[in-house]
Amino acid sequence: MTDKHREATGFQEQAPYDESIDLRTDFVMVYGLNDTTAQRIARWREAGYRVHLMTGISWGTYQDYLDGRWDGSDHWADAQTTADGKPILHGQSTDIPYMVPTFSFTEYLVQKLRPIIELGVEGIHLEEPEFWARAGYSESFKREWQAFFKEPWQAPHSSPEAHFRAGQLKQHLLSRSLDRVTSVLRDEALRQGREVRFYVPTHSLLNYTQWQIISPESRLRTLPSIDGAIAQVWTGTSRTPNVYAGRVAERTFETAYLEYGIAQDLTRGTDRRMWFLHDPIEDHPDRTWEDYLANYQRTLIASLLHPGVSRYEVAPWPNRIFNRPYLREGSTERELIPPDTATSYLIAMNSLRDLDQPDVRWDQEGPRIGIALSDTAMFQRWSPGGESGHYDGLQDALALEGREQLHFSDFYGLALPPLFDGQRVAPVQLENVIDTPDALDDVDVLVLSYEFQKPLAPSIHYALAGWVNRGGSLLYVGDGADPYHAIRSWWTGRYETCADHLAEALGADRDGIQSIGKGRVRFLPVRPADFTESPERAAELVTAIRELAEAGGHTWQSTNWLSVQRGPYVIGAVLDGTHVVEGNYLDLLDPGLGIVRRRELGPGQLTWLRDLTYDEEPLLASAGRVVDWASDNGTITFTCEAPKGVQVITALRVPSEPASVSTDHEYDAAAGVLRLRHPGEPSGTRVEIRL
């Protein structure tokens, strides 16, 4: 667990090195470009980290470009602009706009990043390539429109077609800029005899669509100088409300589970790296410590239920976790992180390094349900009637009025019913079926709709037809009412909707379940959002999916428990009702690392346990990083590294009560578990145990 080469865990931080935020992960992403960057990089490297750099590619402290100090020209015309002519600003800033990635801004980024290569960083992260759906009115965007479409600019919100085309252009510009920056800098690094890897930290396609932002998403797979991505999924994205069974609510666990699911497709089937992000705090500063911890654990468990990924960004901004005060439940006073909360976070962060487990066992081996999601969903986040508002996670979404579109019910109407039925549901990147032969290998039933997205090429349908012929089951849901069916594209003029071409490619009509080769297909002429209206409507969709799955030979079992075992780790969530867990476990969500032999979990409750019967490993869990482990002649020695001042607990399996222990300790004879406690020290606390 001490090898840093795999870069299993890391974090990003803008603050200078401090012992209180030294999480002892494998790598650190030093954030931002300023006069202190070189010094910060050197200091984190001195502390023993592999060092990367992270900066925003669509926004940042780029005032020298905007005000003309860079090349003598004012570049505020490159700011993303709304219909009223106002720039879209990042967060609460007054001079940090989101940028249109023009050629000149891209060249500016290349020059700003060029000196970083000489600082010897191992990776550069260009985070959050973002273009707001409500933008598209700046002079620079109008010029790019003319060059790309070879016709005069149209106001993006003047029609569905104009909005869709604006989205296509925005994605193209972001992808073009990323390609240029990474390709030029990679070449320069190689000419200097260095190797620098390039990554893109990005929200999930699901979240960007829900928040009405355009990003490259699947296009990242086509950029040759990109080495991977960080899936920026956290409480702030996943608590965005949606509708299920007629009720609007935050569903942090379920939404995060779907977000992590689609994010995997950024790298699935490639040799590129993927890290899942967790955030113990989130950007909203006025929630309570109890709220932060509960929602952090919901996203944490959601991520662990996707065993295809075993690398993690354990936190952005540990400085705001460990050194800033927040509210407590029932109090108006802010205080620094409660000791048990800090310990709980660190147990999780250190346990994450051990999740690369080849032995994966699902509690239920039912059919795998895919929900197709296309980049084009980002291009359709507008409806007749004008601008659809702004949401970025900092508002109280449940208090917003008139924001039904934020719920993205066309997607959640398809995804939440089978998920709440306890099925293994994951969104699937639709574009991947074109050039990734195994894109649907992990899917038994694919649910597809073109009422909130469109296929960019007919080859998608030929790929789907091949998959169905080989044994896949496809459920198409849609009534053809979406106005975007009428935009200029490859199907218009010949087919009323793109679903008509899908049926032709399959050789299918629209009646009931039809056999196609070794597979089957069904067309359901219903608006997807209708399945959010009531429990009865949700059950209708579940029935349609179940009938397809059973026709394909799968056994369907409804359950309220979603669970997987990854090596010794048992991860689970109760979707509704109750579930009883029995066995011999160590509770990794308990800051005291208690023993669990029987526990009844209620609705929405989660668990992350270490099975004490799985193996004989002596080190079970720790809130610190255990290094220099040695065991000889009845003596165990090791060093435990942790941020300064936190309460560290370590659980070991030992056969009997030790004769001596160099730290505070307690021995649980019934479980055979020794718990050690000591204050955190980044340089390490030396522990010696004589048995």
Assign residue 26 a region (left: φ > 0; alpha: ψ between -120 and 50; beta: otherwise). alpha
Instruction: Give pLDDT, residue 404.
Output: 76
Give yes or no: residues 514 and 651 share one domain.
no
Give yes or no: residues 527 and 591 share one domain.
no
Handedness of CA 214, 220, 223, 229 (dihedral sign): positive
The amino acid at residue 460 is I
Strands of the sheet containing 664-668, edge to edge, are 619-622, 647-653, 673-679, 664-668
User: Which run of H or E residues covers position 302?
Assistant: helix 289-304
Of 577, 595, 611, the position where a domain reaches its end is 611
Residues in the chain: 691
Instruction: Give pLDDT, residue 402.
Output: 60
486 located within any domain:
yes
Pick from 356, 364, 289: nearest CA to 320: 289
Instruction: Give pLDDT, residue 92.
Output: 78
Q: Are 81 and 57 in contact (CB under 8 A)?
A: no
Cβ-based burial of 77 (10 A; exposed 0-12, middle 13-18, buried ≥19): middle
Give yes or no: residues 597 and 685 share one domain.
no
pLDDT at residue 575 greater than cutoff 90: yes
Q: What tokens appear for 95 in the block?
A: 């001079």
Pick from 199, 148, 200, 204: nearest CA to 173: 148
Q: Are 513 and 551 in contact (CB under 8 A)?
A: yes
State the Cα torsion 235-349-587-249 to the nearest 10°.
0
Q: Are 447 and 411 in contact (CB under 8 A)?
A: no
pLDDT at residue 20 greater than cutoff 80: yes
Domains of the chain: total: 3
Of 594, 611, 628, the position where a domain reaches its end is 611
Instruction: Give pLDDT, residue 29.
Output: 98
Instruction: Give pLDDT, residue 2.
Output: 58
Instruction: Give pLDDT, residue 492.
Output: 94
pLDDT at residue 210 greater than cutoff 70: yes
Residue 516: which residues within 8 A CB-CB, separation 6 or more?
Answer: 465, 468, 469, 506, 507, 508
pLDDT at residue 168 greater than cutoff 80: yes
When pLDDT is cut at 50, 70 and 90, the band that residue 528 belongs to is: very high
Instruction: Give pLDDT, residue 386.
Output: 43
Q: Are 649 and 681 in contact (CB under 8 A)?
A: no
Pick from 671, 562, 552: nearest CA to 612: 671
Q: What tokens appear for 450 in the block?
A: 């073109």
Give yes or no: residues 500 and 381 share one domain.
yes
pLDDT in tens, 443-479: 999 999 999 999 999 999 999 999 999 999 999 999 9
Of 611, 627, 652, the position where a domain reaches its end is 611
626 located within any domain:
yes
632 located within any domain:
yes
291 located within any domain:
no
Give yes or no: residues 516 and 401 share one domain.
yes
Instruction: Give pLDDT, residue 389.
Output: 61
pLDDT at residue 429 greater than cutoff 90: yes
pLDDT in tens, 622-637: 999 999 999 998 999 9
Q: Which residue has the tokens 């032995």?
A: 359
pLDDT in tens, 582-599: 999 999 999 999 999 999
Tell me the C-alpha distance between 25 and 143, whole Å: 45
Instruction: Give pLDDT, residue 384.
Output: 47
Cα angle for residues 454, 457, 459 (degrees, 5° grid): 120
The strand ranges marked E within 440-554 are: 445-448, 473-477, 514-516, 519-524
Give yes or no: residues 420 and 487 share one domain.
yes
User: Which run of H or E residues covers position 673?
Assistant: strand 673-679
645 located within any domain:
yes
User: Which run of H or E residues covers position 202?
Assistant: strand 197-202
Query: CA 286 → CA 140, 240, 315, 393, distances in Å?
Result: 38, 16, 19, 12
Mean pLDDT (the chain, rounded): 95
Q: Strand 424-429 vs strand 473-477: parallel, antiparallel, or unpaired?
A: unpaired
pLDDT in tens, 300-310: 999 999 999 99
Cβ-based burial of 620 (10 A; exposed 0-12, middle 13-18, buried ≥19): buried
Tell me the C-alpha distance between 363 and 365, whole Å: 7
pLDDT in tens, 312-344: 999 999 999 999 999 999 999 999 999 999 999
When pLDDT is cut at 50, 70 and 90, the band that residue 381 belongs to is: confident
Q: Strand 334-335 vs strand 326-327: parallel, antiparallel, or unpaired?
A: antiparallel
Q: Strand 9-13 vs strand 27-31: parallel, antiparallel, or unpaired?
A: parallel
Q: What tokens appear for 680 in the block?
A: 């955190």
Q: Strand 197-202 vs strand 123-127: parallel, antiparallel, or unpaired?
A: parallel
Residue 402: which residues within 8 A CB-CB, separation 6 or more?
Answer: 389
pLDDT at residue 383 greater than cutoff 60: no
The CATH number given to whatever domain includes residue 465 is: 3.40.50
What's the half-sphere exposure (Cβ side, CA atoms, 13 Å) at 169?
28
Q: Which domain holds residue 588?
A: 561-611
Give yes or no: residues 374 and 514 share one domain.
yes
Quick check: pTM over 0.75? yes
Instruction: Give pLDDT, residue 391.
Output: 77
Instruction: Give pLDDT, residue 399.
Output: 67
Residue 294: which residues within 8 A CB-CB, separation 6 or more?
Answer: none
Tell me the C-alpha distance between 667 and 657, whole Å: 6
625 located within any domain:
yes
Give yes or no: residues 511 and 541 share one domain.
yes
Handedness of CA 58, 61, 67, 73 (dihedral sign): negative
Give yes or no: residues 506 and 583 share one domain.
no
646 located within any domain:
yes
Query: Bridge partners of 18?
Result: none
Q: What tokens appear for 655 in the block?
A: 């056969």
Q: Are 673 and 649 in contact (CB under 8 A)?
A: no
> Picking from 14-18, 162-166, 394-398, 682-686, which range would have the lowest pLDDT averaged per residue?
394-398
44 located within any domain:
no
Give yes or no: residues 424 and 516 share one domain.
yes
In the chain, pLDDT over 90 holds for what percent of residues?
92
C-beta neighbour count of 55 within 10 angstroms:
23
Q: Which residue has the tokens 């020290």?
A: 681
Give yes or no: residues 400 and 448 share one domain.
yes
Handedness of CA 398, 403, 409, 412 (dihedral sign): negative
Instruction: Give pLDDT, residue 394.
Output: 72
Backbone angles phi, psi at 449, to 5 degrees: -140, 145
Give yes or no: residues 430 and 478 share one domain.
yes
Instruction: Give pLDDT, residue 668.
Output: 96
Q: Are 350 and 384 in contact (CB under 8 A)?
A: no
Q: Which residue has the tokens 């759906």?
A: 133
Instruction: Give pLDDT, residue 109.
Output: 96
